[in-house]
Amino acid sequence: MQNSQGKVVVITGAAGGLGSALARSFARENCRLFLTDKQGGGLTEVIGELRKDGATVAGKPMDLANGGTGKIIDQAFQEYGRIDTLVNNAGVSRAKPFWDLTEEDWDSVLDVNVKALFFALKTAAKYMLPHGGSIINIASVAGRLPRPTLLHYAASKAAVISITRSAALALADNNIRVNAIAPGMMDTEMFHTLRSDLQESSTGSAAGQPNLSIIPLGRIAQPEEIAATAVFLASDAANYITGQTLNVCGGICMS
């Protein structure tokens, strides 16, 4: 990342496969990090690993489904006195057949993937007003393609893409760039859990099954490849990019 020394980067969902890869990638760019995740033990492990490698890292566990998103961003600002980049990575998903979806299923996904994402974005943008900044939302190609066994998750990620566009326009005058990344299949615990759920479901349709044959590049992504895209979008090299959703999916979705 050009001119990244000392920049403050906030990452939600930082204890998971992609979240920890994001944290390591930004730490290598000499950024100061504030990390949060609902998994306190995993978060402590990631923070300890990064500090051992010499990174400047702070953080606090938080279940974003229970509100308080703004407060965790406030704490990041109190820690460092500024916020330069927010990576809205926290997300939840479980596969479920169309006919079995309940209101509780919808609430659990939308509370984290949409509501928490928006209020983190809004609070971080407030702190970026004096100097500008970059906000990166982790969407999914599921937000662009039909997913009959992930309908609520796909809808939430379509909302992330829409929020990214609207927020980019709302914040452009303040030199705050808002972009999204839409990964495809990725080698993380979430992907393997979803795959297991679908394989065990007696009602899941064949159309909902993960199918590696649809990936033109012939493999699933490594989290580090998604993290590299986030580092680019936060960098000065991406200063003229806003309102975009970059598909990092091996060619599953082409735009």
Positions annotated as catalytic residues are 153
Cα end-to-end distance, the chain, whole Å: 26
Tokens encoding 10: 């906030």
Q: Are 161 and 138 in contact (CB under 8 A)?
A: no
Q: Are strands 32-37 and 176-183 parallel, antiparallel or unpaired?
A: unpaired
**What is the Cα–Cα distance from 144 to 160, expressed in whole angstroms?**
11
Position 244: which residue type? Q
Partnered with residue 37 across adjacent β-strands are: 61
Burial of 77-107, coded b for 16+ CB within 10 Å and e otherwise, reads: bebbebbbbbbbbbbbbebbbeeeeeeeeee
Question: Residue 206 — left, alpha, or beta (φ > 0 → left; ψ -120 to 50 → alpha)?
Answer: alpha
Distance of CA 141 to the CA centre of its chain: 13
Alpha helices in the chain, H assignment, sequence order: 17-28, 40-52, 69-80, 103-110, 117-128, 151-171, 189-200, 223-234
Other Cβ atoms within 10 Å of 206 Cβ, number: 8
